[in-house]
Amino acid sequence: MRRMIRLLVALLALVATPAFAADAADGLQPKFTASSTLIPARTVQVWLPPDYATSKRRYPVIYLHDGQNVYDDPSPWSGKSWAVHRALAKLIAERKVRPAILVAVWNTDNRLGEYMPEAAVPPVVAPGDPNADDLFKKLPVERAKIAGDAYLAFLADELKPLIDKQYRTLRGPRDTMLMGSSMGGLISAYALVRYPTVFGAAACLSTAWPIGDGFTERWFETHLPPYTARLYFDYGTGTNDGTIAPFQAKLDAAAGKRRGWVSRAFPGAEHSERAWAARVDIPLTFLLGKK
């Protein structure tokens, strides 16, 4: 009798255990080149959640910038990946978040130009103007290369329809999200201002508010996304992240006590893929956590 009870308990445990891939890398789809009429073509790679092949459900989607650092093989310029798919697979297995599709979008040599919130860029001033000390001169990118609006149009009008056609996605703004770090954090927040009916949530890690003496942060103070948007911001206090806090504090004050607005500090954390990988489960839970 005891043996039968033990067998029954074991069977019930198997039934209760969620089915998921043995290795999160199993969900990685082949890379492809996404063409565009707006920006240069680029590499994109999709990750599908563990139950995608065995279900008929539709899934939320997270679009991630700096795509070559999202999965297992980091680009040479960073040497470290976020392993976002592995963190998400673990959270899914633990039933802490909704399963989701990841879409990693590679950057290009014009990373700063494409990730720059274009509307925030100060205008050119006339010679002799008292504001002639143009903040933009302090940026490591030429004005002519600024393409933040074109990059977002590519995501919203070209890439998203392609992903929605190819995969079973939940297509509304509530389920269409972005994630990025540093300049990727800036363009993620900017997307919620420019395309509020397309993107409804963003996770912005170590957002590059200090760039150009903070002109982007000042612009965002008066151009906040709609109240329906959900935003996660965080930053460390080590290396480059050590200069973010005062800018983030100003933006948080401008936002007030908005529902769906989270701002966190991680003492000692540096400005690196290694640091973002160590805490990526937190923004993923913010974006996909079960209510």
Supply the range of the domain harboring residue 112: 19-122+136-288
11 occurs within a structural domain: no
6 occurs within a structural domain: no
Q: Is the pLDDT score of 54 beyond 60?
A: yes
2 occurs within a structural domain: no
Phi, psi of 67 (to 5 degrees): -60, -25
The total of structural domains in the chain comes to 1
232 occurs within a structural domain: yes
Closest CA to 49 of 37, 31, 41, 61: 61
The Cα 50–Cα 48 span in angstroms is: 7
pLDDT computed for residue 23 by the predictor: 77
5 occurs within a structural domain: no
pLDDT, one tens digit per residue, over 148-183 is 999 999 999 999 999 999 999 999 999 999 999 999
pLDDT computed for residue 32 by the predictor: 97
Q: Is the pLDDT score of 244 beyond 60?
A: yes
pLDDT computed for residue 11 by the predictor: 40
The string over 94-116, giving b where at least 16 C-beta atoms fall within 10 Å of a residue's C-beta and e elsewhere, is: eeebbbbbbbbbbbeebbbbbbb
13 occurs within a structural domain: no
Secondary structure (DSSP) of 118-186: GGGSPPPPPTT-TT-S-GGGGSSS-GGG--HHHHHHIIIIIIHHHHHHHS-B--SGGGEEEEEETHHHH
Q: In this structure, what CATH number is given to the domain that contains residue 230?
A: 3.40.50.1820
The string over 121-138, giving b where at least 16 C-beta atoms fall within 10 Å of a residue's C-beta and e elsewhere, is: bbeeeeeeeeeeeebbee
> Which strand (E) or helix (H) includes residue 253?
helix 245-255
pLDDT computed for residue 76 by the predictor: 52
Cα Rg of the chain (Å, integer)? 21
Q: What is the mean pLDDT of residues 7-12?
A: 42
pTM: 0.88
pLDDT, one tens digit per residue, over 250-276 is 999 999 999 999 999 999 999 999 999
Pairing of strands 101-105, 42-47: antiparallel
Identify the residue whose tokens are 């563990």. Answer: 50
Of residues 51 and 141, the one with the higher pLDDT is: 51
Q: Is the pLDDT score of 209 beyond 60?
A: yes
83 occurs within a structural domain: yes
Helix (H, G, I), strand (E, B) or coil at 8: helix
pLDDT, one tens digit per residue, over 91-109 is 999 999 999 999 999 999 9
Alpha carbon dihedral 209, 211, 212, 213, in 10-degree steps, equals 50
Q: Is the pLDDT score of 277 beyond 70?
A: yes
Closest CA to 208 of 231, 230, 233, 191: 233
| pLDDT category of residue 246 using cuts at 50, 70 and 90 | very high
Partner residues linked to 64 by β-bridges: 104, 179
161 occurs within a structural domain: yes
Average pLDDT value over all residues in the chain: 88
| pLDDT category of residue 24 using cuts at 50, 70 and 90 | confident
